[in-house]
Amino acid sequence: MQTYILKRLIAVVPVLIGLSVIVFLVMAMIPGDTATAILGPYATPENVERINRDLGLDKPLLQQYLIWIGNVLQGDFGRSYALNRPVLDEVLERFQATLILAGVSLVLASFVGLLAGIVSAVRQFSWADRVVTLVVLAGISTPSFWLGLLLIYLFAVHWRILPASGMYAVYGGGDLKDLLIHLILPAATLAVVAAGVIARLTRGAMLEVLRQDFVRTARAKGLPERRVIYNHAFRAALVSVIPVIGIQAGFVLGGAVYIETVFQWPGIGAMLVKAISTRDILLVQGGVLIVAASYVLFNLMADVVQSMLDPRIRM
């Protein structure tokens, strides 16, 4: 097991290097002058030259990348010009809020998706299967930002039973109950598509496992149907579903960018949108790199869990 984890960690290294190159090049290729965008009406030639010198933009592209990645490896992501604070401090502070939202969304999506997939597979071609399939297709096809606006209108504007935005109440609150109330709408919005994908894959995996000989043998021994489904079939199907959940972890992290904007959630997504509009390149690079690295690590964790459920994968 330790050898398998070590091999997977080594395989992650070139992926992270590739991610850093892509993040750097994408920001470097954005049209327009960064220094001019930062300075705005104060963009005199002298100020532009000073900003370019401070950010290292007056150096060749390869040298810029090597300086940036060298600083990153030392834990120095630079300093945000717009916020006048270290990039790493800002990103980590915002990332905590994003992890709360993404974590709750992933748990909700996994629970609903796994349960819906099991019910749909066990009751194949029944009315329950048709309802689950219809709801899953509708959920996958619905744009998350539109669903978020719809939920805000229904629950916050029309019925006024849930807050429309923010992480805590402006006046009062600030406790766990307040956080959970504010989480309901954005977490549900973010979980819909992920739950649909997990449900479809779970249904397919369960149908395949239910036709296996070991399931027929378990039933022939007289085991209760619930034990056959959950202790035998579901455990075998979960091996195929775990990687999908890992991928959906990356989806909810990426989807948080626009969901946080819709619900004014103070996470890294809202931070990136504002940083891109102000051309705060060091903040954008640091934020995107940390989100991308988290996505890679989540998939690594999913691979490890999958190998624990099925030791044959380690071979």
Write out pLDDT tens, residues 145-154.
899 999 999 9
The whole-number pLDDT of residue 81 equals 81
Candidate from 235-239, 247-251, 253-257 with smallest mean pLDDT: 253-257
Instruction: For residue 92, give the amino acid letter.
Output: L
Nearest alpha carbon to residue 252 among 196, 175, 179, 172: 196
The pLDDT of residue 121 is 94
Q: Which of 49-53, 128-132, 143-147, 226-230 has the lowest mean pLDDT?
A: 49-53
Classify the C-alpha dihedral 65-285-38-75 as positive or negative: negative
| pTM for the model | 0.87
Strands (E), 148-268: none
Check whether domain 91-314 has CATH 1.10.3720.10, yes or no: yes
pLDDT average, residue stretch 26-45: 76
46 contacts: CB under 8 Å, gap ≥ 6: none
Are the CB atoms for 198 and 248 separated by under 8 Å? yes
3-state secondary structure of 287: helix
Alpha-carbon gap, residue 261 to 200, rounded angstroms: 28
pLDDT > 90: percent of the chain:
41
Predicted confidence (pLDDT) at residue 265 exceeds the cutoff of 90: yes
> What does the domain layout of the chain look like in residue ranges?
2-80, 91-314
pLDDT digits (tens, 9 = 90+) for 62-116: 998 999 999 998 989 988 888 889 999 999 999 999 999 999 999 999 999 999 9
Best mean pLDDT range from 145-154, 168-177, 254-263: 145-154
2-21: pLDDT as tens digits: 787 788 788 888 888 888 89
Tell me the average pLDDT across 131-152: 92
